[in-house]
Amino acid sequence: MKALSELYNRIIQRVNINLREFNFDVEPFIHNLVPFDQLAKVHGFYAVTAQHPLDFQFRHSNLAGSYLLGKCRTTNSILYKSDIRGDELKKKGSIFHCDNFKIPLTKEEGIRIENSFLIKTLVHNYSHDPESPERFSISNTVSTHYANIHGSPTDGSFLGPFATVDLSTINDCVIGAFSYVQAGEINHFHIDPGTVWVRSPGDFNFLFRYPADILGRYIQFRPGSQPDGILIDFVNDHKNAFERIFETVNIKSSIAVPPNASLDRFAVVQPKLSIEDNVLVAQRSFLQNSHLGRGANAQENCFIINSFLKGFNVTAHGAKLINVDLEEMVFVGFNSFLRGNSCRLGIGRDCIIMPHTIIDIQESLLIPAGCLVWGSVTCQADLETNSIPLKTLEKLEDGFSRKNLVFEGNGKKFVSAFQNRIQHILEANGAFYNGKDHKGHAQKNQNISFNIIQPYSEGEKEGVYPTIIIRP
């Protein structure tokens, strides 16, 4: 495994050089996170459809257990059980709008991953960097368990477990565990674990930080140790269910799938699941004893257990719903953890559950319609502190603060930004398909073929894939 070891050391050096101002060494954090023998044994796979450009190039990389869709190139990188989903990359001839600029694209956008180690990471959407609209680049970066790199070109950075960078450009940054950043462009930032930061310069700034004692129960990540806490324990408790679907080439769906819905081949489906028209169920999601109403979706790494989704619900990447009832048009943000412990959690219509929210209750709780919820909620008193009606927020022009939250700027612009994004997600996922118009992922992803790729199995190159170029 000489070549694989050299590749690993190369990536560490590249990241450490970029983070030298913080005196931050990534090696103690990722040492033995992924055993090298796993990298040599687990196959990768890529998807082919008539709906997405086919252009894969893999050079001197390891792709163990990773899924790739769309136009993607990796060089000198290790991708371990990561999802590289390029089904919303910008098209040739389209116009990319950014601030007051209208940028025409002269070629198809592609994902480029170079000198990076991505562990169980989701990469999705398209670059929001106006300086490179045709290139979604991740370079000199280490990303750990269940992080999300969503529309965010990332260079010289480290992402802790369950961290999310969203619709931003990230350069030379450390993003702590369970932190969510959507802040435009940030350079040379060290984001503390448990930070939720949403900023639109000149419009609004939402900043929340989890208290250390609460965050520590759900996720901790110390040098030399595997991530631990409730979140990682929950995922690990269900990981055996995924083994069968990745070991078998063809698996027949165990439930009836409407003709306008999509149930991914690599999703886990347990008994008593039902889905309606225009539902999208993405790979690596886990569903059990639940109902997904028309136009609802379960995105990558979601868990939906003993729950009822009435329809047109967005369950964003990594969100978890256990014993939860959602009315229509409820948005549950990235990596949120919503759990009723032998009780029910009800969420009213048009609610927005902020990314990285933890609602973990021992007694039944109902969140009224049209609320924004954030932070940690365990009871009614917490809900009163960590929520606000959207109509109230829309009237605020100078912001407000509550305990660990500071909101600055215009509340109406903040609400509108979220509502517009929710509408876009539903449209992109095909929630509004009427049999003729408004096709989305739920319709386009129905006929995907999957192809296995494997590395050298012995010798100095063991664990490294040969150069592979796949084109139409």
* CA atoms lying within 13 Å on the CB side of residue 79: 33
Q: How many CB atoms lie within 10 A of CB 402?
A: 15
What pLDDT was estimated at residue 250? 64
If phi > 0 it is left, if psi is from -120 to 50 it is alpha, else beta; for residue 457 that is: alpha
pLDDT in the model for residue 216: 97
Contact 67, 104 (CB under 8 A): no
Give the fold, CATH level 3, of 238-444: UDP N-Acetylglucosamine Acyltransferase; domain 1 (2.160.10)
> What pLDDT score does 235 carry?
97
Q: How far apart are CA 32 and CA 36, in angstroms?
A: 8
pLDDT, tens digit only, all 472 positions of the chain: 899 999 999 999 999 999 999 999 999 999 989 988 889 988 999 999 888 888 999 999 999 999 999 999 999 999 999 999 999 999 999 998 887 888 999 999 999 999 999 999 999 999 988 888 999 999 999 999 999 999 999 999 999 999 999 999 999 999 999 999 999 999 999 999 999 999 999 999 999 999 999 999 999 999 999 999 999 999 999 999 888 777 766 667 778 899 999 999 899 999 999 999 999 999 999 999 999 999 999 999 999 999 999 999 999 999 999 999 999 999 999 999 999 999 999 999 999 999 999 999 999 999 999 999 999 999 999 999 999 999 999 999 999 999 999 999 999 999 999 999 999 999 999 999 999 999 999 998 888 888 999 999 999 999 999 999 999 8
Reduced to 3 states, what is the DSSP secondary structure of residue 141? coil
Say how far apart CA 60 and CA 464 lie, in whole Å.
Answer: 6
Contacting residues for 319 by C-beta, under 8 A, at least 6 apart: 299, 302, 303, 332, 333, 334, 335, 336, 337, 338
Amino acid found at 416: S
CATH 2.160.10.10 fits 2-227+448-470, yes or no: yes
Residues β-bridged to residue 198: 182, 206
Q: In sequence order, what are the residues at sequence separation of 6 or more whose Cβ sits closer than 8 angstroms to the Cβ of residue 420? A: none
What pLDDT was estimated at residue 129? 87
393: left (phi over 0), alpha (psi -120 to 50) or beta: alpha
Cα 125 from Cα 169, distance rounded (Å): 13
Q: Work out the widest C-alpha separation in the chain, in whole angstroms.
A: 66
HSE-up of 217 (CA within 13 Å, CB side)?
A: 8
Q: Please, what sign has the CA dihedral across residues 105, 110, 111, 112?
A: negative
Q: Two tokens at 66?
A: 């990773």
Ranges of CATH 2.160.10.10 domains, the chain: 2-227+448-470, 238-444
